[in-house]
Structure 1
Amino acid sequence: MNPLLEVSGVSVSFDGFRAINNLSFRIGRAELRAIIGPNGAGKTTFMDIVTGKTAPDSGSITWDGSRRSVFARSEARIAREGIGRKFQKPTVFEEQTVQENLLLALKADRRPLAVLRYRPFRQHLARIEELAGEVGLSNALQRRAGELSHGQKQWLEIGMLLAQEPRLLLVDEPAAGMTLEEREQTTAILVAAAKTRAVVVVEHDMDFVRRLNCRVTVLHEGAVLAEGSLDHVTADRAVIDVYLGR
């Protein structure tokens, strides 16, 4: 089966520094993948390229079997085509309720006239309740987002991204600052999401990566250093030397 996303021989430099170096990466249509690596390995730049924020100098990105380059399109177009990204710090509308945040994110007609006339239908509210259940916020729909814990805000933002029905979800260090209980819930959310879409998790916490129980890609100096199960990559001498031994 063709991968959902395939990155082939991509390189990008900033002021003479090669942040991504002939990188190749592929992920299936319903797959959970963790990306690890030392600071400066190219993890953030990789996500910037996939979401259209940064244009590479060379190489190609194939999206859903199309040979048209994804990075030749605008960030908004890329998002509409089904690529969603969650940054490390949660970004929610803190003065709005959880329900209102999810409604605002719901995939719908965003043309000006449609937005002015928008009223949530029963199916929209049902979808919001479903999303809240998926991210563990069923009992918090009427709470202001600003009242939520750090972990709950992370779940809300994941819910907002899921509301847009992405086919690929990029998540940056979701476990940072979470309690053990929140990490367990976050693991469950991401594992469930990957049953119907591709999910890429960039993470430093090896315990959290182990909980994900998925294929791991190790980046170093902008290229793939190793790939496989967590046990496989953590036993790799090169990975130990450049990352785990630090």
Structure 2
Amino acid sequence: MSALLEVSGVSKSFDGFKAINNLSFAIAERELRAIIGPNGAGKTTFMDIVTGKTRPDSGEVRWGENSRSLLRMSEAQIARAGIGRKFQRPTVFEDQSVEANLIMALKAPRGPFAVLRWRPSAGSRARVQDLAAEVGLAGQIRRKAGELSHGQKQWLEIGMLLAQEPRLLLVDEPAAGMTLAEREQTTTLLKRLAETRAVVVVEHDMEFVRRLNCKVTVLHQGSLLAEGSLDHVSANPDVIEVYLGR
């Protein structure tokens, strides 16, 4: 099966510090993958490169069936091509309802005149109901986003990304600050989403990664250190030394 995303020999330095060092790995369609590693391992820089926020010094990042180069695309073009990123802190419109947040996120013409004329259709409102149900917020659709719990805001932001119909979701530390019940619900959500698209979870919390029960990529000093199941990489002496601090 061909890769949906392929990172090949990518390197990036900042003022002499190599944040990414000859990094190569691939993500398949409809795959759930966890990326772990200590602080400074290159996890955020990897996401910045894939989403077009940062340009690498060398290497290639290819996307989709036609193996298009993401490095020749702008951030907006990459988002439209089907790559969505959820940052660690949820960014939702706090004074707007859950429904309004989801309506604003729907895929629609974004030109200045199109935006002024656009009104949500019955189909759009039905789609919003579906999105709210998908992320567990069907009962909160009229509430202001600012009234939601931290975990619910995270789910709303995932719903807003899903409104753009991405083929790849990059999710940064989704478990941070969540209650145990919210973490369990988030695990279920991410697993379900990976049945229809690729989901990459960047995470520090090893117990959360274990619950995801997926392939794990370990980064260290910007390079790929190990890859496989969590049990497999946890038994790797190099991973034990750099990640578990033994």
- TM-score, structure 1 normalization: 0.98
Which SS does the other structure have where 1:174 is aligned? Answer: coil
Q: For residue 151 of structure 1, what is the aligned residue in structure 2?
A: 151
Off by >4 Å, runs of 4+ in structure 1? none
The residue aligned with 1:241 is 241
Q: Is 1:173 equivalent to 2:173 in the alignment?
A: yes
Aligned pair 1:84/2:84, yes or no?
yes
**SS at structure 1 position matched to 2:76:** helix
Partners of 1:179 and 1:68 lie apart in 2 by: 40
What is the one-letter code of the residue matched to 2:197?
A: R
Query: 1: distance between equivalents of 2:234 and 2:144?
Result: 42
Match of 1:17 in 2: 17
> Match of 1:85, SS?
strand
**Normalized against structure 2, the TM-score is what?**
0.98
Partner in structure 2 of residue 216 of structure 1: 216
Secondary structure at the residue paired with 2:243?
helix
Q: Distance in 1 between matches of 2:105 and 2:48?
A: 21
| Secondary structure class of the residue paired with 1:244 | coil
Letter in 1 for 2:189: I
Give the AA of the match of 2:198.
A
Q: Which moved more, 1:103-112 or 1:138-147?
A: 103-112
State the Cα distance separating 1:67 from its structure 2 match: 4.3
Report the AA paired with residue 169 of structure 1: L
Give the CA deviation at 1:72: 2.0
- Give distance in 1, aligned partners of 2:68 and 2:81: 13
Ranges in structure 1 where 5+ consecutive residues have no aligned partner = none
Which residue in the other structure is 1:109 paired with?
109
Q: Does 1:36 align with 2:40?
A: no
RMSD: 0.9
Partner Cα distance (1:81, 1:112) in 2: 21
Establish whether residue 52 from structure 1 lines up as the match of residue 43 from structure 2: no
2:182 corresponds in structure 1 to 182
Separation of aligned partners in 2, 1:238 and 1:175: 26
Q: Is the 8 A contact 1:51 1:71 kept in 2?
A: no
Displacement after TM superposition at 1:117 (Å): 1.0
Matched to 1:35, the amino acid is: I
Residue 162 (structure 2) aligns with: 162
2:183 matches 1:192: no
Counterparts of 1:236 and 1:135, CA distance in 2: 35
Task: Give the share of equivalent positions with the same residue, in percent.
Answer: 74
Distance in 2 (CA, whole Å) between partners of 1:176 and 1:31 is 22
The answer for unaligned runs of 5 or more in structure 2 is none
